[in-house]
Copies of this chain bind each other. A is one copy, B any other.
């Protein structure tokens, strides 16, 4: 019996989370998620349409991809990055726990994104800052623009 690959495990974990929430993990959803996992960087919805239509016998349309992405975002398996109009798998796909506050750093040069868990102090500071102007926080996810390690060291050469 063949050992499960890492991706198999991620997909299996994702399936469990979907089913636990009463959602189905259809073939289309599985394939879209797998493509996004393998990409290892943010993709647009239309990137995913192309990828799917190249790698599969079947065809999918943009409308369906958007619906599937919405579903995964609801399940917290995928995040949307509004500054890029792209989507990326949650870095906690392998974890059992549901993650809390996180943000993304986006590399201006290579476009890669990294999900960063907020430490308690940062969360606290942010919450205090927001509530000090009478605002009720619903979702703290955000993106910061900068240079990743790799690109920063290249740039300084």
Contact = CB atoms under 8 A, between A and B. Distances in A.
A138 B137 CA distance: 25
Interface string A127-157: 0011001111111101111111100100000
Interface magnitude class on chain A: 20 to 34
A135 B114 contact: yes
Nearest to A116: B133
A130 B137 CA distance: 22
A122 interface: yes
B133 A105 contact: yes
A33 B121 CA distance: 39
Nearest to A137: B146
Interface of A: 82-83, 103, 105, 107-108, 114, 116, 118-119, 121-122, 125-126, 129-130, 133-140, 142-149, 152
